[in-house]
Amino acid sequence: MGTDNGLVRYNGLTFKGYGSSQLHSNYIKQLLQKKDGSLYAITDKEIVQIYSTPDEVTFKVLMQTKTPEADEGDLFYGKMLYEDRNNVLWAADNSQIFKQTPSGEFELTFSNFDLINEAQNRSFQLVENIDGELFAFHHTGVVLKYDEEANQFRDMKANLSLDNIQHAIWYNGSSFLVADTGKGVSLVEIKGNKVTRRQIGQRLDASYIQEIGTDTYMVSCWLKGMYRLESTYEGFKLHRDAELGVYNGNAMYYNDLDLWLARDNGVSLFQQLPFNQFAQNVTTSFIQHVNGDDKNLYFTDGDNFYTGTINSINEFKLTQKIKVKPSGNAFLRILPTKNGVWTSDAEGHLVLWKGTQEIKKFDLSHLGGAIFVMKQDKNGNLWVCQDGIAGVIKIQPSGKTKIYSVEEGVSSRAISIEITESNEILLGGSSKEGLVFQYNDVIDGFDNLTTDLNFKLEGNLQTNDIRKASNGDVILGTSYGTMILKDEKIKRLNLGDFTTISNNALAIDPSEQQLWISTPSGLIRYNFEHDEYLRYTYKDGLPDGQLNHRGLYIDDFGKLFISSTRGIGFAPNLQVLKETPKPFIEQVHVGGDKIGNDERPEVASDSYLRVDFHIPVYPTENVALQKRILGYPGLDEWTNFEKDHEGLLIDKLEAGSSYTLEIRGRKTGNFSWSRPMAFRFSVFTPFYKQWWSYVIYIVGTITIVLIFVQLNILRSRRDKRRLEEQVNLRTKEVEQQSSELTEKNSELEKAFNRLKRSEAILNHNTKELERAKKEADKAVSKLKDKNTELEETSRTIREQHQEMKSHREQILRQNELVKEQALLLSQHNDKVKSSVNYARRMQTAVFGQPSEMAEQMKGIGQHWDGFVYLKPRDIVSGDFHWYGEKNENHIIVAADCTGHGVPGAFMSLIGNDLLNQIVYERGILDPGRILKLMNDMIRQALNQAENENSRDGMDIAICVVSPKRKTLTFAGAGRPLYYIDNNDPDELKRLKGGKFGIGGKATKKKVFDSYSLPLEDIKVMYICSDGYQDQFGGPNGRKLMQRPFKELLFSIHDKEMDLQNKSLDQFMEQWMLHGNQKQIDDMLIIGLKPHVVVDEESEKEILLVDEHEAQRQSIF
């Protein structure tokens, strides 16, 4: 992008400026990319060629201003660059035009300094006609024609009455579209030397014209927004673009993918989404059904039945609107026929309309409830599916009805119908043993076409929609994925992460190349030929991600209509996909080393490969990416991944032959996968992981162990020698003492001879000497015993050393096993946490935050208030809150599913789906009837009639608030209603619901009665699950119980609702803290404080209008 402050590059994530000292001026006037991909820029002082790499941007100057004053042949305030069909580069300043020669120099082809130009951005606009003749439109209105022989432009002396030309492009032949700030858009035709101008549309301050398709152009203005210019056989049509009309700009760029608009304060990017909202000026409500015929399109939002036509630019024109009568019921289905248009409603009525008149009516309310499917065969018979009917109903033109059920071959409840051009009649069933049936006119019954499934399935299975292709394949949109019945075998389509997702509706385009699948997670497009799928969401232009059952319609021209909770989604024709641009490599790293992009690196098995790549799609956050490694088992299939900063990191690969990394991308919208980018590499085992390295490791370890043993033996021998030396020293001491005694004995004998008279004394001394000798012998003996003990101690020490060494090795091995097990447990725990956290996000996406429902309750009326207190025991909750609004009635639900955590969360999703069906599709607003239908539908969905051990279900409280009638109607299944009566405000009253919850074991005692209370009598009301009052805590570690819970509610009922919410949370935190208890169950409390202004006269008028309706049921 060229700016007043240099060059800016955008990589899809960030903008980076390149204001460079290499340029004499950073005031860039125009950028031009030639057909060969080379990039050029012109500033007010020079012309440069730009060289861009991932790391840097450099400039090569081709021409620059030499003098500060205007001088012929010298660039002076450059403005424009242009490439002609011969790939020659042209440039212009305020008054001159230059042509680049083959040598790269620029030569002067026109100069006229008398041309006045006060525009900051524009001077000449060069453009060629169909014959390759080159013309130049000057900002002041002068038209020049290039004379190739003279290599000069000549003035055509045209009088266009234009004095502020901003842009010009070729239209056809020798005609051009010219944008002028004062006159808007003009068609200028040049024939020979004659130049004529014709005004197109209103006068605009036009700044630029960009072709965006065949005969379609976008016109930008300086101040008046953007306009769409279309060329038709009737002439030009210039109209303000409804979506882009608020944007102003001075230039545009279009590349078949994106439309960029240059503005004074930045740049804007516009992208054509594949879907848009249809007829949003008519309705944006919950669409029950869309259908059509050769002339008209029909749809209903329940309260109204609309008829209209579609013009050539896919605009809807409403021609007829039929509103539900005050005593009537919601429109559900529409069926155009040659005799008129049939509609069905929620009470079992069929009406045939001719214009706005009823010409025939069938009442089937005595058979069942809502008629939610309706088709007509070639014989004029109507086939309908109705609530309460196990099979399907056929209604003959005479009005005679016949029910086809088990006796006629329909072994499960029919919920979808398909009638082909050849009058084949197919039914979709509601059990895995009865998925699809075909009518047999010979026996006037149905044949079961269901076969064994080739995959495991837990729970029940039903066919929500059914289609038959011309090749005989029967396509089933089931609650467990999309399946095809072919050659008497049922197989499931592989849709990646969405293989098992529930199908709401199916549609096949007229060419039978594409299958459209409506799901709770968006719209899926499947290509039969390539076995590929794409998924579309609200980011692709759909009104909402919640798509309705059997809510897809495709007309004969391939136009697709989608029923959603917020209006109709529309795609004019999505047969042809645009290919996403191919990614390209920016740089490659092996380990920490950068290598060339064309190299084929060898990567060590314990190192990593990082490939930084770019895909030229903007912004890149809207691009899905897939990778695969060819030649590597287990990684050679396409898998999704997210780009890590600038690229992809690959590690932990096993050594082997060469591999090829392929990366492809797909832009959000009507785009196919790009051609894959390929990068070849190989993986080798480093020398320190070779087998011979491990042999060296083992031999070295054994050598070290042997050396250690030998050192211990030498140390023991040294200790033994030291002990022997001590014993020898002691022995010598004893021998020396013995020698001394012998000498003394000799001296005594001599003394005896000398002293005979002292014989007695000598004899006594002799005895003493003998006793001393005995004591010396004993000392010698003790020394020998001590030596023996020392040798035994040394041997014991050596044995203990060996035993301690063995124990140490065992401890080290056990420690390694403990670490491995701890790592495995940690990884498993992380995976479980990740899955549960994803389930929490899914649950939050379905039910919304508690604060969102509180805001919805506040929006019921002025001064209304409410809160939702939700405290799950685990990450996901088995308790759920639900809010709905239908016909000015507000439905508030608090439910407690069996179990908590993940099992409870699954049950909560079933409850949400059933409430949506009953309230929005069937239009039932009586809480008692809602509970009765939920009980039957849960038992059917969970197959509890056959599985008596199943106790899954929920306790639930439902309140229907009608501000218009000033009533609150309550029904409960195992849960009560608490409220403060304005007439008796000193007590919190309790209104019991039904004794039994919904679902679980069948019993005839299950009764769900509805109770109505005047709104003006209710000061505040509460509905809740039993988790709060059953929580252990307090000083004695006991349950809170119901009576203290009621006292707590009464004590806080006068506070603001948000303060009540905080009080409940603070009390429970203290209750569990004092008792040192953990939470045992999910907790849910919903509080509502109504505000009713009593007006007796208005009250009487409402009662008179609805008197007959109030007699029939508790609400209406």
Helices 1057-1075 and 1042-1052, interaxial angle, to 10°? 140
Hey, which residues does 341 pair with through a beta bridge? Answer: 336, 353
> What single-letter amino acid sits at 10?
Y
User: For residue 689, is it left (φ>0), alpha (ψ between -120 and 50) or beta?
Assistant: alpha
User: For residue 292, is it left (φ>0), alpha (ψ between -120 and 50) or beta?
Assistant: beta
Tell the residue number behind the tokens 């609004």, with chain if given: 885
Spatial strand order in the sheet of 266-271: 251-254, 258-263, 266-271
pLDDT for 1115? 35
Residue 923: other Cβ atoms inside 10 A: 22
Instruction: Show the tokens assigned to 395.
Output: 């209604």
Instruction: Show the tokens assigned to 92.
Output: 């212009």
Judged by DSSP in three states, 136 sits in strand
Q: Who's near 886: CB < 8 A, 6+ residues apart? A: 919, 920, 923, 925
Rounded Cα gap, residues 605 and 254, in angstroms: 46
CA 1035 distance to own-chain centroid? 47
- Is the alpha carbon torsion for 628, 631, 637, 639 positive or negative? negative
| CB-based contact 1084:850 (threshold 8 Å) | no
Q: What is the dihedral of CA 565, 568, 569, 574, to 10 degrees?
A: 140
Residue 1072: other Cβ atoms inside 10 A: 18
Rounded Cα gap, residues 533 and 626, in angstroms: 14
Long-range contacts from 335-343, C-beta under 8 angstroms, 24+ separation: 335/291, 335/374, 335/375, 335/376, 335/382, 336/291, 336/292, 336/293, 336/296, 336/298, 337/376, 341/298, 341/307, 342/374, 342/376, 342/382, 343/300, 343/305
Closest CA to 866 of 876, 855, 875, 877: 855
As to burial, measured by CB atoms within 10 angstroms (0-12 exposed, 13-18 middle, 19+ buried), residue 370 is buried
| CB-based contact 228:218 (threshold 8 Å) | yes
Question: Whole-model pTM above 0.85?
Answer: no
Distances in whole angstroms, Cα of residue 569 to Cα of each of 275, 525, 550, 724 = 6, 15, 14, 104
Instruction: Show the tokens assigned to 280.
Output: 């949003």
Q: Who's near 746: CB < 8 A, 6+ residues apart? A: none
Helix (H) or strand (E) holding 526: strand 522-527
* Average confidence (pLDDT) per 10 residues, the chain, 1116 residues: 87 78 86 93 92 84 88 90 95 94 94 78 91 93 94 92 92 94 94 92 93 89 91 86 78 84 86 84 91 93 93 86 80 94 93 92 91 94 93 93 93 93 94 93 94 83 93 93 92 89 91 90 87 84 83 90 91 75 86 81 84 80 85 85 78 81 83 87 80 82 89 87 84 80 75 64 61 65 68 68 69 66 64 68 85 93 93 91 93 91 86 93 92 91 80 93 93 95 92 89 80 94 95 91 94 94 95 90 95 63 47 38
713 phi/psi in degrees, rounded to 5: -65, -45
| CB-based contact 250:261 (threshold 8 Å) | no
Rounded Cα gap, residues 313 and 570, in angstroms: 13
List, in order of start, the domains of the chain with CATH numbers.
Answer: 1-114 (2.130.10.10), 161-272 (2.120.10.30), 579-688 (2.60.40.10), 691-752+759-843 (no CATH), 848-1103 (3.60.40.10)
Instruction: Show the tokens assigned to 706.
Output: 């042997």
Residue 1088: other Cβ atoms inside 10 A: 25
Closest CA to 658 of 681, 637, 636: 681
| CB-based contact 28:6 (threshold 8 Å) | yes
52 phi/psi in degrees, rounded to 5: -115, 125
Q: Who's near 772: CB < 8 A, 6+ residues apart? A: 741
pLDDT for 341? 95
pLDDT for 811? 58
The DSSP letter of residue 756 is G
| CB-based contact 234:249 (threshold 8 Å) | no
The DSSP letter of residue 583 is P
Instruction: Show the tokens assigned to 609.
Output: 């490969």
